[in-house]
Amino acid sequence: MKLAKKKITVGITGGIAAYKAADLVSWLHQQGADVQVMMTKGAQEFISPLLLHALSGHVVIIDMFANDDKLHIPHIYGVDGADLFIIAPATANIMAKAAHGIADEVVSASILAATCPILFVPAMNFHMYENIATQENMEILQRRGYHVLEAEEGRMACGTVGKGRFPEAAVLQDAVMKILFPKQDLAGKKVLITAGPTREQIDPVRYLSNYSSGKMGYALAEAARDRGADVTLVSGPVKLLAPAGITVIPVVTAEEMYQATLACYGEMDIVIGAAAVADYRPDQTASQKIKKQGAAKDGIQLNLVANPDILQALGAAKKHQYLVGFAAETENLLENAEKKLIAKKADMIIANDVSQPGVGFEVDNNAVTLVTKDGHYVLPQMTKQALAEKIWDYIMVAAEKKNQ
Ligand code: PMT
């Protein structure tokens, strides 16, 4: 489900490899993408729009002059808001049209209307592929910034052997991911992130907690996933949807978060403690709801005992891991963060002043100062998603430096 929230348009043109476009559409859909298919008349000679409708879940766009409210103006609607437009297979004809701005049917017109990246996947007879006209058209397209995937060598349906085959699924899928997620600097890294609050029970209906929504931790987890990391997210109770393509371990109490985090710490390369872990819990949990009667009528006393300090334990057990903690402060931000960096044996502390309006707990924005032994770096207020990208940029630089 690595393509959740991505809108991808697939334009199928009239090559015998059109049937392979069905596998592509199916894969995109299974990865969570919202897939809109469009087809030239030639493509419909090889594969039926009905099949692509079934695989994508959307009506296939085949007629630029369709009088259909839903599709509105087909060659605009089909690529409006798309993150990627894949022409697969791409015939010599469609590439010639695209190279010369011809827009006489829905796919070629959509190529001109698209504002997103376009990936051409050429597949045709070997001699057509090697023809100077085709080669020059592909060069024109590449010069204009379009992506043109090189055809593969092999035997083709027409019996010839040579370059012109539709690529293997894995090659095409890899090309798609590299365009959608250009930064794959976390590929091969195992990342663990804690996020959200913990809840410390008083009785079956009451608990102690805090205002953490999990947004900061989830943004860091999703950014790491999109940059190729294998992400595990240990999450306190939050209202956020479990993000696709990430292993989510739900926990409630600090003790549970401690157990879950330490259990997988050894295999991790980078760990970020973004969770707002309750420092204390009631030393006793009532088995029944405490009634406001008798001695409890005017109030109750809670004796709070310390919870395990997860970041402290991670620091003490650190081997090869790059360990990042947060600091939620209301004063002396830098001083408190520097103390935490040393006390927890962390490699970086991400400090945020949670007393400032519009940043910190619950809201969509944050402002942080990254503190390491080499100094500190201020990241001004921005969305937690944008901040997550910048935090990963700095972690990758700092982690490289540490490993040198
Ligand atoms: O979740 P959001 O609504 O998006 O809000 C984001 C945030 C404000 C929660 C986040 O940016 C943040 O500051 N998280 C850390 C909150 C916190 O507990 O900070 P702290 O200074 O109390 O703890 C310091 C570090 O120790 C943190 O990495 C924390 O995860 C960790 N800790 C704290 C207590 C404890 N018992 N075990 C821990 O591991």
pLDDT at position 339 is 97
Q: CATH assignment of 7-180?
A: 3.40.50.1950
Q: Is the CB of 309 under 6 A from ligand 1?
A: yes
Q: Which atom of ligand 1 is nearest to the CA of 366?
A: 11
Q: Is the CB of 271 under 6 A from ligand 1?
A: no
SS3 229: coil
320: CA distance to ligand 1 center in Å? 23
Q: What is the distance between the alpha carbons of residues 250 and 235, in angstroms, rounded to a whole number?
A: 5
- With b for 16 or more beta-carbon neighbours within 10 A and e for fewer, the 370-402 pattern comes to bbbeeebeebeebebbebbbbbbebbbebbeee
pLDDT at position 71 is 63
Q: Taking the C-alpha atoms of 89, 81, 218 and 223 in order, what is their torsion angle to the nearest 10 degrees?
A: 50
Phi, psi at residue 123, to the nearest 5°? -155, 125
Determine which residue's CA is closest to atom 16 belonging to ligand 1. 276
Q: Taking the C-alpha atoms of 209, 213, 219 and 220 in order, what is their torsion angle to the nearest 10 degrees?
A: -10
Q: Which atom of ligand 1 is nearest to the CA of 352?
A: 13
Q: What is the distance between the alpha carbons of residues 309 and 254, in angstroms, rounded to a whole number?
A: 9
Q: Is the CB of 212 under 6 A from ligand 1?
A: yes
Q: Is the CB of 218 under 6 A from ligand 1?
A: no
Q: Taking the CB of residue 334, how many other CB atoms lie within 10 A of it?
A: 15
277: CA distance to ligand 1 center in Å? 6
Q: Is the CB of 348 under 6 A from ligand 1?
A: no
Q: Which amino acid is at 69?
A: D
pLDDT in tens, the chain (404 residues): 678 889 999 999 999 999 999 999 999 999 999 999 999 999 999 999 999 999 999 999 998 877 777 666 777 778 989 999 999 999 999 999 999 999 999 999 999 999 999 999 999 999 999 999 999 999 999 999 999 999 999 888 778 788 999 999 999 998 999 899 888 899 999 999 999 999 999 999 999 999 999 999 999 999 999 899 999 999 999 999 888 889 999 999 999 999 999 999 999 999 999 999 999 999 999 999 999 999 889 999 999 999 999 999 999 999 999 999 999 999 999 999 999 999 999 999 999 999 999 999 999 999 999 999 999 999 999 999 999 999 999 999 998 888 77
Q: Is 158 a catalytic residue?
A: yes
In this structure, what DSSP letter does residue 242 have?
Answer: P
Q: Enter the tokens of residue 259.
A: 């157990």
- Indicate where the chain has its CATH 3.40.50.10300 domain(s): 190-283+296-403
Q: Which atom of ligand 1 is nearest to the CA of 210?
A: 9
Q: Which atom of ligand 1 is nearest to the CA of 327?
A: 21
Q: What is the distance between the alpha carbons of residues 93 and 133, in angstroms, rounded to a whole number?
A: 10
Determine which residue's CA is closest to atom 34 belonging to ligand 1. 277
SS3 215: helix
Q: Enter the tokens of residue 131.
A: 């023809």
Q: Could you tell me how many residues make up the chain?
A: 404
Q: Is the CB of 214 under 6 A from ligand 1?
A: yes
**Contact (CB, 8 A) for 136 and 102:** no
Closest by Cα among 185, 264, 267, 194 to 226: 185
Distances from the Cα of 129 to the Cαs of 176, 211, 246, 342, in angstroms?
22, 60, 41, 62
- With b for 16 or more beta-carbon neighbours within 10 A and e for fewer, the 226-239 pattern comes to bbbbbbbbbbbbbe
Q: Is the CB of 337 under 6 A from ligand 1?
A: no
238: CA distance to ligand 1 center in Å? 14
SS3 145: coil
Q: Which atom of ligand 1 is nearest to the CA of 362?
A: 3
| Angle between helices 215-226 and 384-403 in degrees, nearest 10 | 60
Given ligand 1 and candidates 212, 234, 326, which is best to mutate, with the most ligand atoms within 8 Å of its CB?
326
The active-site residue out of 54, 112, 158, 305 is: 158
pLDDT at position 206 is 96
CA 55 to chain centre: 23
Within 13 Å and on the Cβ side, how many CA atoms surround 130? 9
263: CA distance to ligand 1 center in Å? 20
Q: Is the CB of 221 under 6 A from ligand 1?
A: no
- Indicate where the chain has its CATH 3.40.50.1950 domain(s): 7-180
Those residues with Cβ within 8 angstroms of residue 241's Cβ, 6 or more apart along the chain or in another chain: none
Task: List the beta bridge partners of residue 34.
Answer: 7
Q: Is the CB of 352 under 6 A from ligand 1?
A: yes
Closest by Cα among 141, 134, 264, 131 to 194: 264
Q: Taking the CB of residue 294, how many other CB atoms lie within 10 A of it?
A: 7
Q: Is the CB of 236 under 6 A from ligand 1?
A: no
Q: Enter the tokens of residue 69.
A: 């409210």
327: CA distance to ligand 1 center in Å? 6
Q: CATH assignment of 190-283+296-403?
A: 3.40.50.10300
CA 282 to chain centre: 38
Phi, psi at residue 248, to the nearest 5°? -100, 125
